[in-house]
Amino acid sequence: PALLEVSGLKTYFYLENKKVAKAVDGIDLAIYPGETVAIVGESGSGKSVTSLSIMKLINKPGKIEAGYIKFSGTDFTPLSEKQMTKIRGNDIAMIFQEPMTALNPVFTIGNQIIETLVKHQKLTKKDAYTRAVELLKMVGFPRAEETMREYPHQLSGGMRQRAMIAIAISCAPKLLIADEPTTALDVTIQAQILDLLNEMKERFNMSILLITHDLGIVAEYADRVMVMYGGQIVESTSTTQLFEQPQHPYTKGLLESLPNIDNDVPRLGAISGMVPPSYHFPKGCRFSDRCPSAMEKCREDNPKLVNLTDEHQVRCYLYEGNEQ
């Protein structure tokens, strides 16, 4: 069975002037034990709101409008904030782009890990200290006892992200949500952090939901991928299939804008235009005003996500009639 199952999820934000931002507008997804699933898309496509919704971290003026989130068979919908607090950081952990915002600047790294262990694992302070040192060593702090006494600002960006990972894995979560975990880091550090995540995934037998705008990272680290656009999934398949046989014009555009390492042929530019604001999608297909293949009917109705095969879904009229 799926570890995480999201069905019909809609998360809306009620803005001024009666505008409604449909940041997430009907998403289904499943994550199985031990796999890494990526959600990829440009900024503003609804990726982060999806991950925050999974954790029930949506606050006013936002609201989870419809759908359910089931984790290990438990439906999150009726759970109180108090019950969710027990789950967050324990069964599901999250790391963000900027660990500085998630780490508390006034507490030492050691205190922050100890606090998590005492709160969720009910360890004594002494046992939590020992465990925290072990965890820091595990994520690449050779002089962990010293690091325990340091404050977040004393660490480099990459080391802060390692500290965040230590906190995230401290309760051996079954699912780790990593939202642009390396976007703020240098390329070489990025790879080290992603390799570390992979190592921790194996070690703790976790699943990872990886949120990224970077298809290069998807290629390297994800088993399956969902492409998001305009608050919806427009293509979903295995990573191999996505790179070998992309179907949706948006996916193709994203792939074309990747730097090509195989040859020196200059690439065409990225997709022209911008992601539409989620309070004002174009009529019809949400990609229609940027799509090189747009047809008349694309401007009338939004296509449904259909199965091309059991393992490949696409939302585009070009494939109408090809669905299974």
Residues 297-316 contacting ligand SF4, CB under 6 A: 298, 303, 316
- DSSP codes joined into one string, 177-217: EEESTTTTS-HHHHHHHHHHHHHHHHHHT-EEEEEES-HHH
Question: Helix axis angle, 157-169 relative to 187-204, nearest 10°?
Answer: 10
138 binds ligand SF4 (CB under 6 A): no
Does 112 bind ligand SF4 (CB under 6 A)? Our answer is no
CB of 267 to ligand SF4, least distance (A): 20
- Name the 3-class secondary structure at 93: strand
Distances (CA, A) of 121 to 139, 149, 170, 204: 19, 22, 9, 16
Judged by CB under 6 A, which of 40, 291, 312, 313 binds ligand SF4? 291
Please, what is the Cα angle at 136 between 96 and 158, to 5 degrees? 45
Cβ 26 to ligand SF4 shortest distance, Å: 16
Residue 148 binding partner per list ligand SF4, Mg ion, none, with a CB distance cut-off of 5 to 8 Å that depends on partner kind:
none
Strand (E) or helix (H) holding 169:
helix 157-169
DSSP structure string for 234-295: EEEEEHHHHHHS--SHHHHHHHHTSPPSS--PPPPP--SS-PPPTTSPPSSSTTTTT-TT--
Q: 48 touches which of Mg ion, ligand SF4, none (CB within 5 to 8 A by kind)?
A: Mg ion
Q: Which does 285 bind (CB under 5 to 8 A by kind): Mg ion, ligand SF4, none?
A: ligand SF4
Tell me whether residue 48 or residue 237 sits nearer to Mg ion (CB atom).
48
Write the binding mask 178 to 207 for ligand SF4: x where contact by CB under 6 A, - elsewhere.
------------------------------
Min dist CB 213 to Mg ion, Å, is 8
Binders in 224-283 for ligand SF4, by CB under 6 A: 249
Q: Which of residues 45-64 bind ligand SF4 (CB under 6 A)?
A: none
Nearer to ligand SF4, 216 or 277 (CB): 277
Q: How far apart are the first and last CA of the chain?
A: 23
Phi-psi region of 230 (alpha: psi -120 to 50; beta: other; left: phi over 0): left
Shortest Å distance, C-beta 48 to Mg ion: 3
Q: What CA–CA distance (Å, rounded) separates 86 from 173? A: 12
Alpha-carbon dihedral 62, 63, 68, 72, rounded to 10 degrees: 60
CA atoms within 13 A on the CB side of 188: 0
Smaller CB distance to Mg ion: residue 44 or 140? 44
Nearest distance in Å: CB 211, Mg ion: 6
Backbone angles phi, psi at 81, to 5 degrees: -60, -35
Q: Which stretch binds ligand SF4 (CB under 6 A): 46-54, 115-123, 167-175, 291-299?
A: 291-299
Instruction: For Mg ion, give the closer residue by CB, 48 or 170.
Output: 48
* Cβ at position 213, least distance to ligand SF4 in Å: 19
Alpha-carbon distance of 270 to 235, in angstroms, equals: 18
In the complex, minimum distance from the CB of residue 289 to ligand SF4, in angstroms, rounded to a whole number:
8
Binding residues for ligand SF4, rule: CB under 6 A, are 249, 285, 287-288, 291, 293-295, 298, 303, 316-318
